[in-house]
Amino acid sequence: MFSEGYKFLEAVKKKDGETVTQMLDEPGSTLANSRDVTTGQSALHIVTERRDLTWIRFLTAKGANPNIADKNGVTPLILATQLGFTDGVAALVEAGARVDTPNSAGETPLISAVHSRDTAMMRALLEAGANPDRADNSGRSAMDYAKLQGPNSATMREIERSAKPADEREGAQTYGPSF
């Protein structure tokens, strides 16, 4: 006998939309956020890995949390960034994915995009409010990694062109009450 969560994730893997819809339509269902017990991956990880925009939108509309991390701290947004799946990044951000959530090494999606030299991905993340100054576990930020590629590198130019001012970024630090 398998758990309902296991059955749900298997149906997602098999693209069995009818079964997934039936399971999610059960009153009080929380299956949209089921996780694989060995990897920690959720259904959003599975569909992001296969670059399936339709399923990403379907699952997030049914309540799947885009900020659930697997056992390595990898969120669906980090996974989409690593895959170069810009449309997936846009859909996950639209669904509420936090752009500065790091993996277990402290690497944010923006740092991953800088490492890949994917300026289109960097632009999407920066426009969504990614912080180019947020450091990873080694103490380096996306800005630092871009500088290492050279002061006139495409990644450095993209950060300079697309980064929002600090007060407009997601999770920007403010002091005192806000009204």
Q: Which of 109, 104, 175 is nearest to 141 (CA)?
A: 109
pLDDT of residue 169: 61
Cα 161 to Cα 146: distance, rounded to the nearest angstrom? 13
H-state helical runs in the chain: 4-13, 17-24, 43-49, 53-61, 76-83, 86-94, 109-116, 119-127, 142-148, 154-162
Cα 17 to Cα 15: distance, rounded to the nearest angstrom? 6
Cα 166 to Cα 131: distance, rounded to the nearest angstrom? 8
Displacement of CA 40 from its chain's centroid (Å) = 15
Per-residue pLDDT of the chain (179 residues; tens, 9 = 90+): 789 999 999 999 999 999 999 999 998 889 999 999 999 999 999 999 999 999 999 999 999 999 999 999 999 999 999 999 999 999 999 999 999 999 999 999 999 999 999 999 999 999 999 999 999 999 999 999 999 998 899 999 999 998 887 776 655 444 445 44
Instruction: Tell me the per-residue pLDDT of 13-47, one tens digit each, with 9 for 90 and over.
Output: 999 999 999 999 998 889 999 999 999 999 999 99
Phi-psi region of 108 (alpha: psi -120 to 50; beta: other; left: phi over 0): beta
H-state helical runs in 50-103: 53-61, 76-83, 86-94
